[in-house]
Structure 1
Amino acid sequence: MQLDPAICNRARLTRDRRFDGRFYTAVKTTGIFCRPICPARAPLERNVEYFATAAEAAAAGYRPCLRCRPDAAPGSPAWGLVSTTVQRALLLMRRERELQSLERLAERLGISSRYLRKLFAEHFGISPLQVWQTERALFAFSLLRDTRLPVAEIAFAAGFNSLRRFNGVFKDIYRRTPSEVRREKGAERRENNPGIRLYLSYRPPLDWQGMLAFFAARALPGVEQVTMDYQDPQRSTYQRSFSVEGQRGLLLVRNDAANSRLEVRVIADGSGAVLFRVREQVRQLFDLDADTEAIAVHLARDPLLAQVLAGIQGIRLPGAWDPFEYALRAILGQQISVAAATTIAGRLVARYGESFTGPDGEALYLFPTAEQLAEADFSDLGVTRTRAQTLRNFVRATLDGQLDFSEPDLDAWCRQMTRLPGIGDWTAHYTAMRGLSMPDAFPASDLGILIALGEGGRKATPRQALARAEAWRPWRAYGALLLWQSLKLRDKS
């Protein structure tokens, strides 16, 4: 990613939070790299160089600043500007707790390991191993500072099965051992609250109440719970059950707006093994790495979208915890209302999901996996025989490997989905939009979209919707959200 030194210089001198995570400032005289919001005295321009990602700065020999903590920075938009093959590689690397061999990773991508190294060198100037090690070391640092987990458990959570190897990689990047970091000032004291607390930073603004309202209308009983506090938004929370790598648990998310971060409390048996995956999935769920300013500027060129954007603070795309779960829910939601689809999905959870007792004695459910639904009939959910067959086809295709939920290409994903009987373009795009967080997905045949784009009391056609949305690319999914929001504004007026 090419950075403009003049823009970076102005941003770091003003400590503009909108640029946090977009680039990192490396100081040649100290050998340290910082976030642009670092409170330390700004170095002279001739003594700095800029990097798009923390991994690139670390690979260049700089160590992370202990004051501004690059481990706590929002995600870099640079990751979203690479080829689809590299995006998929990053996704696969982050979905696994431990490091795969380069050969195995390349095999899953359908390319040679030599070509994979070449792609990473072209886009980042570093190897896949350097990206993995830097990301995991930064994650480990956050656990050392923000939790009281033992160092050995932190090493395991970060993906290292060898404590010696973890210590070596960590010391190469931070120039100190994990134990030395743990002894330094700033580590969290023990709390009475159960679980482990993670902090996920974002670039403000974040429409926290708006996102929670979206999730609340679709919350599955026993799986998700949204608590809205309109007097004090910081008390509004999102809660859901989860199962990661065979470990079931509960997470509770609230917004710490003063520090531009989400606080995530994770309660799970053997929680160390799930923390990295949980962090990545929560970031996607709340779209924390979105470049909201760039998206808003681009979409505001359309007068209708500009009108809606004027009342929204930081547009983000509500994601999903698990792509399989959301694809199944999208199929259930074909041609029925949100409330009806949520009711039927609740029946599915109660009928096929695994129940367990929460930390406060409450009854919780896990959304069923494809394996648990392998023999499911679905006819007892209140759906048509055709819809039940579509659900069975989808589950079978998932188990047979016909669907690749790590596919980053929108057209390729839609082709996979629409090959299945009973699944059309709307379902494929809506699943891509919510389940896979694809920013350019656009369910053009959606009734709400057609009404919002209609004129003179007449609905638009899908062809007209696609033509209008062409100018919104590559963020058509955000445009769809704004169109749905425009219907609410129209109803109020």
Structure 2
Amino acid sequence: MHEDVERCVRAVQSKDARFDGWFFTGVVTTGIYCRPSCPVVPPKPKNMRFYPSAAAAQQAGFRACKRCRPDTSPGSPEWNHRADVVARAMRLIADGVVDREGVPGLASRLGYSTRQIERQLQAELGAGPFALARAQRAQTARLLIETTTLPMGDVAFAAGFASIRAFNDTVREVFALTPTELRDRVSRGHPVATSGTLTLRLPFRAPLCPDNLFGHLAATGVPGVEEWRDGAYRRTLRLPHGPGVVTLSPRPDHVACALRLSDLRDLTIAISRCRWMLDLDADPVAVDDLLRADPVLAPLVGKAPGRRVPRTADPDEFAVRAVLGQQVSTAAARTHAARLVAAHGEQVDDPSGGLTHLFPSAEALAELDPATLAFPRSRRTTLTTLVASLNSGEIDLGVGSDWETARARLAELPGVGPWTVESIAMRTLGDPDAFIPSDLGIRAAARDLGLPTTPAALTRRAARWRPWRAYAVQYLWATGDHPINHLPS
């Protein structure tokens, strides 16, 4: 979008928050870059320069605006609805792969050479993978500087910097302030966090309907791993450096997020996974505009616009739970999952609630005895085969995976049919066009709305909802009186 100068100028002049994260505006007269909705008086168009990423603006010599904090805007929705190598790379960078494995590790995961990845990211985003990861580290550093009392050395390494010098230089270059000056700007009396605990705001593009998003996560939550407590969804997180616990509460203009981490180096990854789970980088205006064009869906969209697709914080976990949920009720699926958690999950400490375990990893589940599973033998075979494929790496469901390859390999497993494949594609892979016409809730909604009810006919009718069929599913599910459609009381 940044190449459409006229459209970008109009967005900046109208301070349109819908475009935050789509592009960034560099102002040549001040040397700063902003989000489109920056509250200051818009500069003259001749003084505007547009960039596809914060990293590109920084590489061009611009510093982050202190008013609109462009580095904290929602992420570009491009990386969530595309499956090409650039989108996959951006999802992996957000998940901290460059910090943990370097650019060669990123390239290896994508099956390309380092030079190819560098070239493709530079061409589309104006910055290479290292610069994009550096911009992310700068944002994490500012968050830690402003919301904790950690010593600056601890902040530097928690944010992923290799040295204090690199940390100081980056903060000064990006924010035009030293780390100490950044901390001093925080108003007196502002609450700060102790080591390992953080409270922050997760921005999103309006509108956002929290009912199905939080209702689904709460209603299907696995005891010990997830819970709804005091108006918030809480769950444990499996992170690279240790377990974490997150508390997420819907607010009118943001999602309140409280993170308790065993290692602050996992902060960036935890935030990224929470944003992914809640689908906060979606473009609800684009989605709803297309779905509203269908007269059958228009009333549903008008009643509660901004529905998101509830995803997962752990791809292997959801795949296992999808198999456990085959042809059984939500309550039965939760019971089966809870038994696996109690038998194979890693225990965690949760002083603030009732969370007790991480969901067991594929490696831990590889050791389970199928005879202990209280469901039919065919389902046991499906589960153990899936777990073996996940544990060996034969099936990759991570944020950087190839969607069609993952679908094909899932479909090869015994007992894994279209419902399971598309459920995983929607909730784990994040494919916005995933569609499950055989789902009982979808067929009931189709019947009540006068739509075709057979999977083949409904799929043909749903062609007009592409590429947002996963969002159409949320609106169709919402016609039923099921707990997944309501915030718990």
Regarding TM over 0.5, the answer is yes
User: What is the RMSD of the two structures over their aligned residues, measured on CA atoms?
Assistant: 2.5
2:246 paired with 1:251: yes
Query: Cα deviations across residues 141-176 of structure 1 (Å, max 9, x unaligned)?
Result: 222223333322222222223222222333332333
Q: Does the CA contact (< 8 Å) of 1:72 and 1:199 recur in 2? A: no
Q: Distance in 1 between matches of 2:354 and 2:368?
A: 27
In structure 2, what is the equivalent of residue 129 of structure 1?
130
Query: Per-residue deviation at 1:319?
Result: 0.9
- The worse-fitting range, judged by mean Cα deviation, of 118-127 and 315-324 is 118-127
Query: Are the aligned partners of 1:241 and 1:365 in contact in 2 as well (CA < 8 Å)?
Result: yes
Any stretches of 5+ residues in structure 1 without a counterpart? Answer: 228-234
1:238 to 230, 233, 238: 233
The alignment partner of 1:357 has SS state of: coil
CA distance in 2 between counterparts of 1:426 and 1:466 reads 13
Separation in 2 of the partners of 1:141 and 1:390? 46
Change (3 A) 1:364 1:178: same
CA–CA separation in structure 1 for the residues paired with 2:105 and 2:16: 41
1:451/1:458 contact within 8 Å kept: no
SS of the residue corresponding to residue 252 of structure 1 reads strand
Q: 1:91 deviation in Å?
A: 2.5
| Alignment-derived partner of residue 116 in structure 1 | 117
- The worse-fitting range, judged by mean Cα deviation, of 400-409 and 431-440 is 400-409
- Structure 1 contact 34–64 (Cα < 8 Å) conserved: yes
**1:73-472 pair list within 5 angstroms:** 73-80=73-80, 84-96=84-96, 98=99, 100-186=101-187, 188-190=190-192, 195-227=197-229, 236-257=231-252, 260-270=253-263, 272-360=264-352, 362=354, 364-406=356-398, 407-454=400-447, 460-472=453-465
After superposition, what is the alpha-carbon deviation per residue over 1:227-261, rounded to whole angstroms, capped at 9, x for unaligned?
4xxxxxxx62111122212412321112332xx22
Q: Shift in Å at residue 106 of structure 1?
A: 1.7
Residues 410 and 440, structure 1, Cα contact 8 Å, conserved in 2? no
Change (3 A) 1:79 1:63: farther
| Alpha-carbon offset, residue 449 of structure 1 | 2.1
SS in 1 for 2:348: strand
On the 8 A contact 1:17/1:203 being kept in 2, the answer is yes
1:351 Cα offset (Å): 2.2
Where relative contact order (Cα < 8 A, 6+ residues apart) is larger, the structure is 2
State the 1:389 CA deviation.
1.4
Q: Displacement, 1:288? A: 0.5
Separation (CA, whole Å) in 1 of partners of 2:290 and 2:405: 25
Q: Distance in 1 between matches of 2:383 and 2:135?
A: 41
Query: Counterpart of 1:100 in 2: which secondary structure?
Result: helix
Task: Find the residue that maps to 2:479 and give its secondary structure.
Answer: helix
Cα 1:236–1:441, aligned 2, differ >3 Å: closer, same or farther?
same
Do the aligned partners of 2:235 and 2:245 also contact (CA within 8 Å) in 1? yes
Q: Secondary structure at the match of 1:74?
A: coil
Deviation at 1:25, TM superposition (A): 1.9
Q: One-letter code of the match for 1:402?
A: E
Q: Percent identity?
A: 38
Q: What letter is aligned with 1:440?
A: D
State the alpha-carbon separation in 1 of the partners of residues 474 and 343 from structure 2. 32
Checking the alignment, whether the CA contact within 8 Å between 1:410 and 1:441 is kept in structure 2 is no
CA distance in 2, matches of 1:87, 1:298: 22
Query: Is the 8 Å Cα contact of residues 273 and 313 (structure 2) preserved in structure 1?
Result: yes
1:330 deviation in Å?
0.3
C-alpha spacing 1:100/1:243, structure 2 compared with 1 (3 Å): closer
Deviations 1:326-355 (A, max 9, x none): 000001111122222122212221222223
- Whether contact under 8 Å (1:71, 1:139) holds in the other structure is no
For residue 196 of structure 1, give the secondary structure of its aligned residue in structure 2: strand
How many corresponding residue pairs?
480
TM-score by length of 1: 0.90
Counterpart position of 1:12:
12
Compared with structure 1, are the counterparts of its residues 84 and 456 closer, same or farther at alpha carbon in structure 2 (3 Å cutoff)?
closer
3-state SS, counterpart of residue 357 of structure 2: strand
Q: Structure 2-normalised TM-score?
A: 0.91
CA contact (8 A) 1:52 1:78 kept: no
Q: d(CA) in 2 for partners of 1:458 and 1:191?
A: 52
CA contact (8 A) 1:70 1:138 kept: no
For residues 33-52 of structure 1, the aligned pairs below 5 Å read 33-52=33-52
Give the counterpart letter for 2:198 in structure 1.
I
Contact 2:433 2:470 (8 Å CA) reproduced: yes
* Conserved 8 A contact 1:145-1:186: no
1:231 maps to what in 2? none
8 Å CA contact retained: 1:93, 1:99: no
Separation in 2 of the partners of 1:219 and 1:300? 31
After TM superposition, the structure 1 stretch with the greater mean CA deviation from structure 2, 183-192 or 304-313, is 183-192
